[in-house]
Amino acid sequence: MPRPRIDAGILDRMVEIRRHLHRHPELSNRKIGTGAYLRPMLAGQGISDIRDVARYGLAVDIVGSGRPSIAMWR
């Protein structure tokens, strides 16, 4: 099955986020800054149900109009 194309603006933003996270590494299970960086970004995209998971993780449900899918950002 072919992979969907990602909008260039979204791809650029994803690369920017990845680079930020790599410039500010944190120990496993201690990603305080990562959650603090991602939470307002998610909220700014209109995602209101942001839940804390396993002390330092975040979980969100993003409802769309296409087929259901599951994604995880680690």
31 CB burial (10 A radius; 0-12, 13-18, 19+): buried
What is the tens place of the pLDDT at every residue in 28-44? 878 889 999 999 999 99
Q: Which residue has the tokens 């680079």?
A: 19
Confidence of residue 1 (pLDDT cuts 50, 70, 90): low
pLDDT at 40: 95
Strand-pairing partners, residue 60, are 50
Handedness of CA 27, 31, 32, 36 (dihedral sign): positive
pLDDT (tens digit, 9 = 90+) per residue, 14-73? 999 999 999 999 988 788 899 999 999 999 989 888 999 888 888 998 888 888 777 766
Please state the domain extents for the chain. Answer: 8-60
Say what the pTM is: 0.73
